[in-house]
Amino acid sequence: MNAVDLSSVNAFVPGQVDLGADEAHLIEERARLLGPAYRLMYQKPLHLVRGEGVWLYDTEGRAFLDTYNNVVSLGHCHPDVVDAITRQVTTLCTNTRYLHETILELADRLLATVSDELSHMMLTCSGSEANDLAYRIAKVRTGGTGVIITETAYHGITDAVSQFSPTLGPAVNLGVHVRTVPAPAAYRTGPNVAARFASDVEAAIADLKRHGIKPAMLIVDTMFTSDGILPDEPGFLQGAVEAIRRVGGIFVADEVQPGFGRTGSHMWGFQRHDVVPDIVTMGKPMGNGQPIAGLLAKHDVVEAFGRSARYFNTFAGNTVSCAASVAVLKVIERDRIMDNSAKVGAYLLEKVRALVPKHACLGNIRGAGLFVAADIVSPEDGKISDRDKTTRVVNAMREDGVLISACGADHNILKIRPPLIFTRENVDFFAEVLDRALA
Ligand code: PMP
């Protein structure tokens, strides 16, 4: 068995629990055939064979409530998306070098969700590629290379992007042109989160300059997911965005996690902060499982790049992925998905908070829409992060039929991120299982 990086959040570690013969065999085969870089989740990895709505089923037909899925955020195998994909794949699958209406319909629909200043869409196959492309555009636009991120950020896996994704672990070096700032965790540091975040970004800019590095971009996940999910107070990004623009850099909003209505109040996380980014990157839920991602950009930001570099990305923007994504946007509108996210998300927050008096290990609980975080801390002083207990809770819930995971620098934050079609009944079941796991 290959060595496993224990710093991975909620990663399977061989030898901790007994596995069935089938699972043990599959795990060995993965190691043999896929090599040492892959990770499985949970002490007892799941072998899933089917999904429907908010439910996943294993080989024995056991159902798991999926409370950890922002990819199929309209639910597993959503019929509208399945239908759109099926119709398109049985008609035509081609690329962006041919004329086709669907990519234009997608651009029209996406651009209609943002300020007019953002006027172009470019497509990729993954969030990592979208951030990679954003960085290339930022470098051409600004003439700089410096990147500012938060301490526990994750933006993806390409060579360039992994250099500004500290959560890949200490063995993956940050670039010499990269500076980190503390995550804007208002609940830990008290009020004035906006001023503090802006001054941290200013300090990072000053440090880049001192080293002769011109700032190119500030990039943040606008819900700070891997930093521990930090929604409050809306608006706190404004000073930091102004700071990067004052020195000629651009602001990139990474919407791979919060985008497509998850926060309930807005389609995009940056809109909660009342800023207009220079580039917005997106991915995961964009095709409800189809590999489609991309970015929206201001014309003047992308202009020089577009003139100097042709852009063709074989699979990105293929007709099938575009059809899937158009279907996603139609369902979000028709089924009032954001409304559901806001209402059921508020109920979820209420139900998790209601467990606080019963379980002293529950610390701060926060969220926006169907994006909720619960800190697990020492019951004695309520401050020290309890990573081991968090791992035990996540795995106890998995045994009890509910899937979540953990995040944050200390790996002690329950990350609750169900599909956006979650119902109040789903929340009730979730809260029961969480209650049992905490006990
Ligand atoms: N940005 C953020 C904020 C992400 O969470 C992720 C994926 N977890 C990415 C970028 C990279 O997306 P992908 O895995 O599609 O490359």
CATH number at 317 reads 3.40.640.10
277 and 403 in a common domain: no
Residue nearest to atom 12 of ligand 1 (CA): 127
Instruction: Report CA-CA distances (Å) from 2 to 6, 24, 31, 168, 395.
Output: 12, 14, 7, 18, 22
232 and 167 in a common domain: yes
10 lines ligand 1 (CB under 6 A): no
Most ligand 1 atoms within 8 A of CB, residue of 39, 68, 155, 223 to mutate: 155
The tens place of each residue's pLDDT in the chain, 439 residues long, gives 233 343 467 889 888 888 889 999 999 999 999 999 999 999 999 999 999 999 999 999 999 999 999 999 999 999 999 999 999 999 999 999 999 999 999 999 999 999 999 999 999 999 999 999 999 999 999 999 999 999 999 999 999 999 999 999 999 999 999 999 999 999 999 889 999 999 999 999 999 999 999 999 999 999 999 999 999 999 999 999 999 999 999 999 999 999 999 999 999 999 999 999 999 999 999 999 999 999 999 999 999 999 999 999 999 999 999 999 999 999 999 999 999 999 999 999 999 999 999 999 999 999 999 999 999 999 887 789 999 999 999 999 999 999 999 999 999 999 999 999 999 999 999 999 999 999 9
168 and 21 in a common domain: no
Residues near 282 by beta carbon (within 8 Å), at least 6 away in sequence = 127, 130, 255, 256, 259, 260, 293, 294, 295, 296
145 is a domain residue: yes
d(CA 332, CA 99): 27
Question: Could you write out the DSSP letters of every residue in 127-193?
Answer: HHHHHHHHHHHHHHHHS--EEEEETT----SSHHHHTT-GGG-TTSPPPTTEEEE----HHHH-S-H
126 lines ligand 1 (CB under 6 A): yes
272 and 151 in a common domain: yes
Distance 155 CA to ligand 1 centre (A): 5
132 lines ligand 1 (CB under 6 A): no
257 lines ligand 1 (CB under 6 A): yes
CATH number at 51 reads 3.90.1150.10
45 is a domain residue: yes
Instruction: Report CA-CA distances (Å) from 433 to 379, 398, 401.
Output: 20, 9, 8
Supply the pTM of this predicted model: 0.96
83 and 71 in a common domain: no
Bridge partners of 150? 181
Distance 156 CA to ligand 1 centre (A): 5
Q: Point out the ligand 1 atom lying closest to the alpha carbon of residue 157.
A: 16
309 and 231 in a common domain: yes
128 lines ligand 1 (CB under 6 A): yes
Q: Point out the ligand 1 atom lying closest to the alpha carbon of residue 126.
A: 15
417 is a domain residue: no
Distance 221 CA to ligand 1 centre (A): 9
Distance 177 CA to ligand 1 centre (A): 21
318 and 211 in a common domain: yes
262 and 384 in a common domain: no
272 lines ligand 1 (CB under 6 A): no
232 is a domain residue: yes
201 is a domain residue: yes
Bridge partners of 11? 41
231 lines ligand 1 (CB under 6 A): no
340 is a domain residue: no
Domain end (from 334, 361, 380): 334
262 and 386 in a common domain: no
Domain that holds residue 73: 6-77+348-410+422-430
Residue nearest to atom 14 of ligand 1 (CA): 127
Distance 422 CA to ligand 1 centre (A): 22
94 and 73 in a common domain: no
251 and 193 in a common domain: yes
Burial degree of 129 (CB within 10 A; 0-12, 13-18, 19+): buried
Domain end (from 334, 365, 382): 334
Domain end (from 272, 302, 334): 334
Q: How many domains does the chain fold into?
A: 2
339 is a domain residue: no
146 is a domain residue: yes
154 lines ligand 1 (CB under 6 A): yes
130 and 59 in a common domain: no
